[in-house]
């Protein structure tokens, strides 16, 4: 069969754009499509991990991100209702810690656009199938035209509501282990600018409430709630968000804070155990593969890493003649080798945060060397 492309990637977020960059380095002919036009927003906590920065550095994108509004931090501070946990050593080095997703994703997407073919405003509506093989996509372009494109491999990197995963019966629902989170931006909130703050409070744990500076004047505030916990309360996540900013520990901080827009909610498909993320002619990556960390809830780094793994492995696979599930198995093996054990450990560790959370966090992250300080002091 003559294919239009070696690889079609559905979704131009961190997973899809990183995959496109990685696949282009391997010499593949790539089509990257997204329903939106960039820049576009994505509800998120906006925090970047060391893994994100390493991958950005690999593609020479650190300087581009530094040219955009961002925040740098050298520390994470954890709170409960009665204690504060200070890391054992305060780093003097500030690294990029946060970037609004409309900025961060656009930096990645524009880099991918420079080396691959892209189609923005393209809504994927169906997959092209022959017998049990995926060999392309079908959808509607921005001007309303119905179009089809074929490829040796189709990658679903289109987020938690992935049309690729849904069409293949692989969509991960909240019942399979998920979380919900809120996000709101505030100005005039008193923060140090050097710290990311995480509050493990009774209303949300083993989830947490966060305060993350994202630029010189704006702070990202939100809460993550694991599904079994918020379902039992019967309270909407946005109401828990409002309640927490009025709690005794935080109320004074928010008296002069000015909301920028509304509180928004979104769903997070968490990694728990290995699940099907590939098959004949297709793979899933990032949130579409359900890779979000089940302890802290970060997903940008895991999306980027799964995209990087995919691009590197597809370089050789797409130069061959076999695009079956067996041929694509190395991708799934590599992803679960990287994230499987640590995700299962996180799921098992999470209940320890239900009561007295800072001691286990100190033990896990700092080998007990952090300093716990009573908030009464």
Q: Which domains does the chain have, with CATH numbers?
A: 5-74+95-173+271-349 (3.50.50.60), 176-269+351-374 (3.30.9.10)
**Of 62, 109, 38, 68, nearest in space to 215 by CA:** 68
User: What pLDDT is stored for residue 233 in this prediction?
Assistant: 65
User: What residues contact residue 230 under an 8 Å CB cut-off, 6+ apart?
Assistant: 180, 237, 240
For residue 230, with 0-12 CB atoms within 10 Å meaning exposed, 13-18 middle and 19 or more buried, which class applies? buried
CB 272 within 8 A of CB 49: no
- pLDDT tens-digit map of 129-172: 999 999 999 999 999 999 999 999 999 999 999 999 999 999 87
Task: Compute the half-sphere exposure of residue 281: CA atoms within 13 Å on the CB side of its CA.
Answer: 19
User: What pLDDT is stored for residue 92 in this prediction?
Assistant: 66
CB 97 within 8 A of CB 301: no
For residue 27, with 0-12 CB atoms within 10 Å meaning exposed, 13-18 middle and 19 or more buried, which class applies? exposed
Instruction: Give how far the C-alpha of residue 277 lies from the chain's centroid of Cα atoms, to the nearest Å.
Output: 16
pTM of the model: 0.95
User: What residues contact residue 218 under an 8 Å CB cut-off, 6+ apart?
Assistant: 100, 185, 186, 187, 260
User: What pLDDT is stored for residue 115 in this prediction?
Assistant: 97
User: What pLDDT is stored for residue 89 in this prediction?
Assistant: 74
**Of 302, 280, 279, 281, nearest in space to 290 by CA:** 302
- pLDDT tens-digit map of 298-345: 999 999 999 999 999 999 999 999 999 999 999 999 999 999 999 999
Interior/surface letters 158-177, b for 16+ CB within 10 angstroms, e for the rest: bbbebbbbebbebbbeeeeb
Cα–Cα distance measured from residue 245 to residue 250, given in angstroms and rounded to the nearest whole number: 5
Q: Which residues of the chain fall below pLDDT 70?
A: 90-93, 173-176, 193, 228-233, 377
Strand 117-120 versus strand 30-34 pairing type: parallel
User: What pLDDT is stored for residue 272 in this prediction?
Assistant: 79
Cα–Cα distance measured from residue 28 to residue 20, given in angstroms and rounded to the nearest whole number: 9
DSSP output for 123-137: EEEEEEEETTEEEEE
User: What pLDDT is stored for residue 186 in this prediction?
Assistant: 97
Residue with tokens 């050789």: 316
Cα–Cα distance measured from residue 295 to residue 207, given in angstroms and rounded to the nearest whole number: 8
User: What pLDDT is stored for residue 174 in this prediction?
Assistant: 52
């Amino acid at each position: 069969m003559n294919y239009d492309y070696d690889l079609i990637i559905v979704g131009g977020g961190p997973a899809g754009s990183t995959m496109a960059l990685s696949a282009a380095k391997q010499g593949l002919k790539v089509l990257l499509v997204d329903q939106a036009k960039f820049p576009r927003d994505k509800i998120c906590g906006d925090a970047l991990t060391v893994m994100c920065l390493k991958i950005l550095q690999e593609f020479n994108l650190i300087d581009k991100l530094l040219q955009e509004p961002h925040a740098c931090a050298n520390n994470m501070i954890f709170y409960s209702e009665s204690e504060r946990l200070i890391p054992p050593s305060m780093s003097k080095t500030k690294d990029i810690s946060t970037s609004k997703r409309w900025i961060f994703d656009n930096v990645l997407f524009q880099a991918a656009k420079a080396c691959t073919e892209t189609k923005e405003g393209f809504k994927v509506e169906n997959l092209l199938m022959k017998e049990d093989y995926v060999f392309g996509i079908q959808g509607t372009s921005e001007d309303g035209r119905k179009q089809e494109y074929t490829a040796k491999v189709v990658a679903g990197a289109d987020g938690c509501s992935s049309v690729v995963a849904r069409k293949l019966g692989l969509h991960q629902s909240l019942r399979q282990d998920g979380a919900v989170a809120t996000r709101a931006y505030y100005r005039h909130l008193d923060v140090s600018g050097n710290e990311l703050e995480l509050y493990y409070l009774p209303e949300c744990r083993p989830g947490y409430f966060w305060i993350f500076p994202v630029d010189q004047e704006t702070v990202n505030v939100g809460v993550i709630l694991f599904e079994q916990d918020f379902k039992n309360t019967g309270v909407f996540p946005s109401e828990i968000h409002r309640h927490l900013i009025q709690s005794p520990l935080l109320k004074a901080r928010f008296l002069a804070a000015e909301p920028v827009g509304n509180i928004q909610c979104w769903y997070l498909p968490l990694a728990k155990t290995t699940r099907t993320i590939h098959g004949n002619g297709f793979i899933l990556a990032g949130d579409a593969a359900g890779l979000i960390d089940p302890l802290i809830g970060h997903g940008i780094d895991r999306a980027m890493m799964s995209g990087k793994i995919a691009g590197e492995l597809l370089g050789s696979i797409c130069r061959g003649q076999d695009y079956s599930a067996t041929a694509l198995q190395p991708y799934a093996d590599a992803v679960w080798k990287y994230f499987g054990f640590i995700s299962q450990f996180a799921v098992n560790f999470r209940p320890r945060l239900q009561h007295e959370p800072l001691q286990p966090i100190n033990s896990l992250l700092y080998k007990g060397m952090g300093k716990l300080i009573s908030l009464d002091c």
